[in-house]
Structure 1
Amino acid sequence: MTQAFEAVGPAVVHILAEGPRGGTGSGVLYAPDGYLMTNSHVVSGAAHISAKLTDGRQFSAALIGNDSATDLAVLRLEGDQFPYAQLGSSANLRVGQLVVAIGNPLGFQATVTAGIVSALGRTLRSPAGRLIESVIQTDAALNPGNSGGALVDGSGRVVGINTAMIGQAQGLCFAIGIDTAIDVTMRLMRDGRVKRAVLGFAGQTIMLDARLSRGLHRINPTAVQIVEVIAGGPVDRAGLQKGDVILAVDDQTIHSIDDLHRYLTAEVVGRSLVVTVMNKNGLQRVTVTPEADG
């Protein structure tokens, strides 16, 4: 694990975010021209962002893109020829594998802790309320300031971006898988944001009547109820109303808001979706065309 720290440690920076919601955290340089990954919650709302390298040099940082739905952000430092980390693949991780977490907890520069991969495929609620998929659970100790730092495998490749710990819990820490981080990072570098589809309503997950659920042959007795319709939005144009219950989209069963979020990717923007709903008129199949968010 010494090799892992030597390979990645110089590429892990200490981030100082100044402003109304400023704070400190960590970031991982992944390109020699100063691009780095960090957590969205570390830099959101900051008026000025800077980063300090392990050699003591400090640079101003520009926010290239921010995605609160996955708690990831991309910064770029002013300069070039920066040390940078090699990125691995979180898909190749195995439970029980040794990993190290590198960051700047409580302001202590370039701190490393070791642990194992405790579980894979976890989900974690982001600051935006969406579920982050394919999260890595580890027992490598994290503390405030570790957010945005690197989770590294034994070969010295970054396999995750450390993002959260469970308060009052022992050995429960989480990292966003690097495969997800790379995908989001590329989108942020290209567009400045991650495009997603929206249907133009606020909804909530509800329990269905047990007899009704059995009659509909649903595995779980839950669905999504519309609680507010945005005027002029896709759902409004399709004639759906407050109180209608969404059961499926394109014949894919919808049990929760999270199921709906997973389906509403950028790829379905502008595509006609067949939404199965239940309302006062019984079961209906309605065509809805999602829009891009913002």
Structure 2
Amino acid sequence: MGARDLDLLDAYSRTIVSVAERVGPSVAAIRVENGNGRTQGSGSGFIFTADGYLLTNSHVVRAGGRKAPPPATRLHASFSDGRHFVARWVGDDPHTDLALLQVDGLSQGALTPAPLGRSADLRRGEIAIAIGNPLGFEHTVTSGIVSALGRSMRANTGRLIPDVIQTDAALNPGNSGGPLVDSRGEVVGVNTAIIPQAQSICFAVAIDIAAWVIPQLMRHGRVRRGYLGVGGSTLALDRRTIVQAGSVPTHAVRVLNVENESPAARAGLKVGDVIVGLDGVDVDSVDKLHQLLTEERVHRDCMVKLLRPGLAAPVYVTVRPVEALDA
């Protein structure tokens, strides 16, 4: 190995050491305890505000598959300097696998928040550093690169999490909820999943998704989403339909059922209708329709563009989504 190779290795090592020293104090080991004092689950998390707000995974705080942490559940957060806190559950969003906790950041001295970056600025090949508590080994640092961007994966709820970051930084059970950090020491993702059968294929929820979720968890304890009351499936449109209807996507959502007294029923949507747009945005899959039904559309008139059997031209229907109770 030549002198220049040693210099490069030293530069890489210095980057990892510097980031670990800056961000490490922000990273917590999370433990979920039931009313009998038994550990139900564990994972990682990190402080991102000076007043003790802590981000982790929903599946960590909902250990055992609970709908929500019951009152008897106790959440604990411990840090590398030896401090231990009982954490307060603020809210979570299983559809993006994110959860928000808070610890008393003033009772034992100031906490060190990790700075949040922008995942939109990431590029493939960038250094990716993961800090967490894999397999019970607290405050472990691993590194790799950003392997791919714009991936998607299914949450435990079945909904699609968009813009997932793929990395080869080694992750193991217990890393869930910990930060994925760039070379500047800014959090760009929340580590959430590994593929057990594969080697070095790991995923993190993009911090830009978390930045959208966090304010809603602070306000409501959940993410508010719109509900239409339709069941559907993604369908490929044939060329003749696309040419005949004009400006429509190549895929759309076929309505398979309409719930009674739902916003869709009141608006006149019918089984067999094909939804191709919402408020001027193409709807090319069930996942896309879910993603468009955001808080901003709850209790507001929205324009659904659809194709109806027997009609050549698209039909436009006004529907007013309500809040999804299971969001």
Q: Return the TM-score normalized by structure 1.
A: 0.91
Cα contact 2:59–2:94 (8 A) shared by 1? yes
User: Where does residue 36 of structure 1 map in the other structure?
Assistant: 54
Matched, 1:73 2:91: no
Q: Is the 8 A contact 2:124 2:146 kept in 1?
A: yes
Counting only pairs closer than 5 Å after superposition, residues 1-294 of structure 1 correspond to structure 2 as: 1-19=16-34, 22-44=40-62, 45=66, 46=69, 47-80=73-106, 81-216=110-245, 221-282=250-311, 283-294=314-325
Distance 1:96 1:248 in 2: 36
Contact 2:176 2:193 (C-alpha < 8 Å) held by counterparts: yes
Higher strand share: 1
SS at match of 2:100: strand
Contact kept in structure 1, 2:272 and 2:309, CA below 8 Å: no
The structural deviation recorded for 1:199 is: 1.1
Counterpart residue identity of residue 96, structure 2: T
Residue type matched to 2:100 in 1?
Answer: V
Give percent identity, aligned residues only. 49
Q: Is the 8 A contact 1:13 1:28 kept in 2?
A: yes
Give the drift of 1:6: 0.5
**Quick one: which amino acid aligns to residue 43 of structure 2?**
G
CA contact (8 A) 1:205 1:225 kept: yes
- Distance in 2 separating the partners of 1:275 and 1:32: 43
**1:71-94: per-residue Cα shift (whole Å, max 9, x none)?**
111001245222321222222222
Conserved? CA contact 1:22–1:42, under 8 Å: no
- For structure 2, the residue ranges without an aligned partner over 5 or more in a row are 1-15
Instruction: Give the Cα separation in 2 of the matches to 1:55 and 1:264.
Output: 43
Higher mean Cα deviation, 53-62 or 37-46?
Answer: 53-62
Structure 2 residue identity aligned to 1:76: Q
Higher deviation after alignment, 144-153 or 78-87? 78-87
Is the Cα contact below 8 Å between 1:270 and 1:290 reproduced in 2? yes
| Structure 1 unaligned regions, length at least 5 | none
Q: Who wins on radius of gyration, i.e. which is larger?
A: 2
Question: What is the CA distance between 1:167 and its match in structure 2?
Answer: 2.5
Change (3 A) 1:22 1:233: farther
Partner of 2:4: none
Aligned-partner residue type, residue 150 of structure 2: G
SS state at 1:106 partner: helix
Alpha-carbon distance in 2 for matches of 1:247, 1:220? 7
Q: Which secondary structure does the structure 1 equivalent of 2:144 belong to?
A: strand
Higher deviation after alignment, 43-52 or 105-114:
43-52
Does the 8 Å contact 2:27/2:45 carry over to 1? yes
Q: After superposing the two structures, state which structure 1 stretch, 92-101 or 48-57, moved more.
A: 48-57
In structure 2, the CA distance between the partners of 1:214 and 1:31, relative to structure 1 (3 Å rule), is: same
Q: What is the letter of the counterpart of residue 302 of structure 2?
A: L
CA distance in 2, matches of 1:193, 1:5: 31
| Alignment root-mean-square deviation, CA | 2.2
